Structure 1
Amino acid sequence: MSGNSASTYKDLDAIVLGAGACGLMCAVQAGYLGKKVLVLEKNDKPGAKILISGGGRCNYTNLYASHQNFISENEHFSKSAFAQWTVQDTISFFETYGISGQEKTLGQLFPTTNKAKDIIKVFTDICEDFGQSIRCNSEVQKVISVENGFEVTFKDSVTGNEHQVYAPNVVVATGGLPIAKMGATDFALRLARQFGLNLTSTAPALVPLTVTGKDHDWYEQLSGTSIFSRVSNHKISFDENILFTHWGLSGPAILQISSYWRPGEKITIDLLPDSNIVDLIEEERNHSGKKLLASFLEKFYSKKFVEAMKKYLPVDKNLASLSKDDLLSIEELIHQFSVKPAGDKGYDKAEVMRGGIDTSELSSKTLEAKKVPGLFFGGECVDVTGWLGGYNFQWAWASGFVIAQNI
């Protein structure tokens, strides 16, 4: 990593803002093409968000990633990038540098070493080999158009000195609004506005949902309880675990649906998605009608959860004495558990930002701003938001690759 003074950065092909997944991939791919870039990173190390992803293990792609796993006002926009840089390209790229993947649930690929820092090391090593400069502790103050390119002013947060650098291209890969304590800001959105580009509305995504009011205590008492469920709204459904928390609901299925949820809407949870609870009760009571509903439900759920169900269900009745109305209540609660979240836990707990730079402002083939030649946007700041489980990394790698071809 370079600690050169700014005056030594001559003949740059591009200045890359942000040393996250998109910015690092862009720098590396530019190096393969003999292009020289300077990467400016606000934090004291590159790849801050890579380091915490997947619990520090980094689920660096998903075997099933396609444009259909992404939310955008233009669902077709990401097709070109994913055609240029495929999941297989990601796998091959990391394998070339000694990182092979192991599949966990639902196509998520983690390095066999289970260490996110190994992913970052691949990029920093290649950048060093190519002489690409990654300058950390460098906060960008402004970006202005000058003749045949851009002037970028940045401040060295260690010395306090300001520097100006020039390049014909600027790549904005500064991420979205989560997570402020890791250096996230609205820089990309402000810069887009400065250059007259439209934004789509932004919100936290892949984020836990909150429950307040009269039901809050019921959720709180279940904190830590995890149940495999089908969570759905009018747009989509996900089959994964939910997790009850002190503030409401989390877990993979909730994080997934949160990207599609809007304030004021309800979500429906099927707490036993692969069976019909009434059929199972009928079958059981043919053998053992005296069994209490509570004992029967403990075959599927924890004691704590069954105890909490007392509020809604006759768990102390035996199966033989359950009425039609009882069975209807049980079926509705188990298969159509309805929740109207009060809100979400915000950007500090969100994995990604939904929305961002309007895709209609960018070329889908190059990710260059149509109105501002030489200005490129990639990664999370663009209105392309992936599902949980490595999808957003695949977009970051693909967009970094595409931009590198065109700077």
Structure 2
Amino acid sequence: MNMGDTFDAVIIGGGACGLMCAVQAGYLGKRTLILEKNEKVGAKILISGGGRCNYTNLYSGESNFISANPHFCKSAFSQYSVEDTISFFETYGINGQEKTLGQLFPESNNAKDIVRVFESLCADLGQKILTNAEVKEVVKLESGDFKITYTLANKLKEVIAPSVVIAAGGLPIPKMGATDFGLKVARQFGMKITETAPALVPLTITGKDADWYAKLSGNSIFCRVSNDKISFEENILFTHWGLSGPAILQISSYWKPGEQIRIDLLPNDNITEIIQSQKLVNGRKTLLGLLSDLFTRKFADALDKYLPVEKNLASLTREDLLLIDQQIHKFDVKPAGDKGYDKAEVMRGGVATDELSSKTLESKKVPGLYFGGECVDVTGWLGGYNFQWAWSSGFVIAQNI
């Protein structure tokens, strides 16, 4: 780095939040340095949505986020909205196409296009990016500036700046370099951390029922999955270790070990009414035959563990009907655990929101220190919500550094 290089802020982490922060700062004539420990910026952007990048959600709002303070994200979203995100990307040639439930993907279906926009803009706006740069220490100097020590090409280097932005992400996907760096910095400066846990993560089943789930591996069923806090209607996926799929990932963010979840396997119909109407048409039809019309044959066969599938419809008793209704509409599952940060899409918890100004995302205790993106206690649903928080928080910080 040239001795004459001066920066308004050093951004630690070249993911969605850090990149947006650098670009928005550049628009305002501010100069930033991004320090990214991976070989390339935007690592999680590139793998998100199977490499297609679901970059926002049309319906994104505070109700789609989990936080100790559910209103905390309102200010950021009012400053930089979904419409602002869409407009930003359209300006640089990325038009969104809606898939399901408001999820917006680039028309090209290529996450590389999203990263390319930021790399190009950072170059045009004079924002410096250093990759393979691992930050070792952040120190607040008596002058009020920060000294950031990092390694680059096995050499220890330093940079001084008046502001530091922690956009280092959370704990998920450690093989991509994810660490608890942001949380460590917060603790170092005496800031509280809201308890962290994997979120948007598959759930595991062990014990006597484990084989039943494993045999159904690959089967996907549209369901309503709920607990006492919330419910989601999307597909679930049976796996060798338990349950995954969008509805399970969603509920996992609201689930804690020891709790049950309830699955309605036929959320938009009433199994008892279907049986009664089918009985009038063909009472000799077996329950298995009926279930095979409603689900995959493999799943219908597997229900013989819980239901009298060999009985024909006409011979089902009142007790049978109650049992069928219970198992189809109130299938209770007690997961043993989750697949951990290796398989989690995001982290729940993080830097406590009451440590930060909701308007600027600056630390209340440490002037010039900002936190954005996943390391803050703001966790979005599956489907582009976490990216919207990253863009919005990056924008907000850029206005204030």
Which TM-score band (shorter chain)?
over 0.9
Query: Amino acid of the residue matched to residue 131 of structure 1?
Result: G
113, 118, 134: which one pairs with 1:118? 113
Please give the residue correspondences for 1:126-145 in structure 2 after superposition, counting only pairs within 5 Å. 126-145=121-140
Tell me what 2:145 maps to: 149
SS in structure 1 opposite 2:249? helix
2:207 maps to 1:213: yes
* Distance (Å, rounded) in 2 between the aligned partners of 1:178 and 1:305: 32
SS in structure 2 opposite 1:121? helix
* Distance (Å, rounded) in 2 between the aligned partners of 1:84 and 1:220: 47
Tell me what 2:85 maps to: 90
Q: How much has 1:267 moved relative to structure 2?
A: 0.1
Q: How much has 1:102 moved relative to structure 2?
A: 0.2
Q: Is the 8 A contact 1:292 1:319 kept in 2?
A: yes
331, 338, 342: which one pairs with 1:337? 331
Q: Is the 8 A contact 1:18 1:173 kept in 2?
A: yes
Q: How much has 1:9 moved relative to structure 2?
A: 6.0
CA RMSD, 1 decimal: 0.6
Tell me what 2:399 maps to: 405
Query: Amino acid of the residue matched to residue 161 of structure 2?
Result: A
* Distance (Å, rounded) in 2 between the aligned partners of 1:265 and 1:9: 57
* Distance (Å, rounded) in 1 between the aligned partners of 2:303 and 2:223: 16
Deviations 1:337-389 (A, max 9, x none): 00000000000000000000000000000000000000000000000000000
Tell me what 1:73 maps to: 68
SS in structure 2 opposite 1:134? strand
* Distance (Å, rounded) in 1 between the aligned partners of 2:354 and 2:4: 33
279, 303, 310: which one pairs with 1:316? 310
User: What 5-or-longer segments of structure 1 have no aligned partner?
Assistant: none
User: What 5-or-longer segments of structure 2 have no aligned partner?
Assistant: none
Q: How much has 1:148 moved relative to structure 2?
A: 2.4
Tell me what 2:250 maps to: 256
372, 392, 395: which one pairs with 1:378? 372
Tell me what 2:28 maps to: 33
* Distance (Å, rounded) in 2 between the aligned partners of 1:249 and 1:60: 25
2:265 maps to 1:279: no
* Distance (Å, rounded) in 1 between the aligned partners of 2:127 and 2:7: 10
Deviations 1:179-229 (A, max 9, x none): 100000000000000000000000000000000000000000000000000
Query: Amino acid of the residue matched to residue 27 of structure 1?
Result: A
Deviations 1:241-299 (A, max 9, x none): 00000000000000000000011000000000001000000000011000011111111
* Distance (Å, rounded) in 2 between the aligned partners of 1:324 and 1:148: 76
Q: Is the 8 A contact 1:9 1:165 kept in 2?
A: no
* Distance (Å, rounded) in 1 between the aligned partners of 2:154 and 2:6: 25
SS in structure 2 opposite 1:171? strand
Aligned residue-pair number: 400
Q: How much has 1:139 moved relative to structure 2?
A: 0.2
Query: Amino acid of the residue matched to residue 259 of structure 1?
Result: S
SS in structure 1 opposite 2:115? helix
Deviations 1:11-33 (A, max 9, x none): 21000000000000000000000
38, 52, 57: which one pairs with 1:57? 52
Q: How much has 1:162 moved relative to structure 2?
A: 0.8
- Provide the TM-score with structure 1 as the length reference: 0.98
* Distance (Å, rounded) in 2 between the aligned partners of 1:162 and 1:370: 30
* Distance (Å, rounded) in 2 between the aligned partners of 1:113 and 1:201: 38
Query: Amino acid of the residue matched to residue 150 of structure 2?
Result: F
Q: Is the 8 A contact 1:9 1:38 kept in 2?
A: no
* Distance (Å, rounded) in 2 between the aligned partners of 1:287 and 1:8: 85
Query: Amino acid of the residue matched to residue 237 of structure 1?
Result: S
* Distance (Å, rounded) in 2 between the aligned partners of 1:211 and 1:8: 57
* Distance (Å, rounded) in 1 between the aligned partners of 2:4 and 2:323: 70
